[in-house]
Each structure stands twice: as structure tokens, then as C-alpha cells.
């Protein structure tokens, strides 16, 4: 695994809050306040460690104080900073749940067990999670709905997912929208 796959994105600093250096964090954890539960977080490039203390949770995000950030200017400088944690610090996922970082890099197989590609990303454009599959021998990627109907098997230990490839009808190419 590369370093990028060994870390998980937990949130992003979206704004400064007040004059004492607090920030507002858009937390991607199930419980927003848990963003501080895994110890110091890292910036995207891994060069900065941020020790976060949650002040309160608001509808706009988690208001937090970061050690060493004591004024608004320093807090403003952190805007748009993504916050990562080492994957090993996170608890194991519940049955039927997965960390996206664990899915990226898995071999994609069809129902016959033939390799058809590799998971390169997990996307969500608002209508549900999609596995982005780089198909073997093709430059383009395909998006597969990450549902039990299209991805009936996720076997992280074996490094694979089974994909039920959607069937297109001859009329699909003739449809106009």
C-alpha cells in the first residue's frame, strides 16, 4: 500500500471562528465530535500534525481549538486543510461497512472470478456511493453503484470485490435526453 492508502480523511477545516484561533471543521466521522478521538491529525502532505480539542458541535460544523493556533490569522491560514489519521488508529469497520481507503486498490472480478479491473476510487455525487473501476486494458473508468445488487462480495482480506456488470440494452445508445 502507498502512504495515501494508509491514511483516512476525517474532515476539513472550513473557516476560522472567533478571534482566539478556533476553527470550524467539516467532520466526516459518524459522530462529528469524534474527529478528535483518534489523536493528532495530519495535513494532506503529512508535514503538519494538528492536535484538536473540540469546543462544541454546531449545525455549521465542529468548533475546535488546535494546539498552537491562538489567533484568527493563524486559524485563517488553516482554511481548506484536509485532516487525516493513520488507518491503523481507526476501529475495525462493522459488518457490511467499509472504509473507502480499504476499498481502493482491490481487484475487481466478475461473477465468474475473472479479473476485470481495479477499484481506483469511491465517489459520491449525491445519489449514493459509486466504485470507480479502472477496467483492465482500457484507459477509461466505469462507475458501479456500491450496492449489494452490483457488488455482492467485498473481501478485503482476499483483496477483491465481485462486480455484477450492468447489462445495457441496444436502445440505450439511441436514447436522447
Each residue's pLDDT tens digit, 35-45: 999 999 999 99
pLDDT at 30: 86
**Residue carrying C-alpha cell 502507498:** 2
Which of 99, 106, 152 minimizes the C-alpha distance to 133?
Answer: 106
**What is the architecture of the domain spanning 3-89?**
Beta Barrel (2.40)
- Match domain 100-169 to its CATH number in 2.40.30.170, 2.30.30.240, 3.40.50.970, 2.20.28.120: 2.30.30.240
Instruction: Quote the pLDDT of residue 154.
Output: 96
Task: Write the DSSP string, 78-92.
Answer: TTT-EEEEEGGGSPP
Confidence of residue 169 (pLDDT cuts 50, 70, 90): low
In the chain, pLDDT over 70 holds for what percent of residues? 92
Chain centre distance of CA 21: 27
Taking residues 12-18, report their average pLDDT: 97
Could you state, in order of their start, the residue ranges of all structural domains in the chain? 3-89, 100-169
Amino acid at each position: 500500500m502507498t502512504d495515501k492508502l494508509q491514511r483516512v480523511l476525517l474532515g476539513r477545516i472550513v473557516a476560522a471562528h472567533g478571534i482566539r484561533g478556533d476553527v470550524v471543521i467539516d467532520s466526516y466521522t459518524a459522530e462529528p465530535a469524534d474527529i478528535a478521538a483518534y489523536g493528532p491529525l495530519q495535513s494532506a502532505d503529512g508535514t503538519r500534525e494538528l492536535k484538536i480539542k473540540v469546543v462544541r458541535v454546531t449545525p455549521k460544523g465542529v468548533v475546535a481549538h488546535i494546539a498552537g493556533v491562538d489567533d484568527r490569522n493563524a486559524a485563517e491560514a488553516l482554511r481548506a486543510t484536509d485532516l487525516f489519521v493513520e488507518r491503523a488508529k481507526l476501529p475495525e469497520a462493522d459488518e457490511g461497512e467499509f472504509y473507502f481507503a480499504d476499498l481502493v486498490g482491490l481487484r475487481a472480478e466478475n461473477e465468474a472470478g475473472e479479473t476485470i479491473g481495479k477499484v481506483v476510487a469511491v465517489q459520491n455525487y449525491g445519489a449514493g456511493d459509486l466504485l470507480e473501476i479502472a477496467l483492465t486494458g482500457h484507459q477509461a473508468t466505469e462507475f458501479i453503484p456500491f450496492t449489494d445488487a452490483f457488488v455482492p462480495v467485498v473481501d478485503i482480506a482476499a483483496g477483491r470485490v465481485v462486480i455484477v456488470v450492468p447489462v445495457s440494452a441496444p436502445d440505450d445508445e439511441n436514447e436522447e435526453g
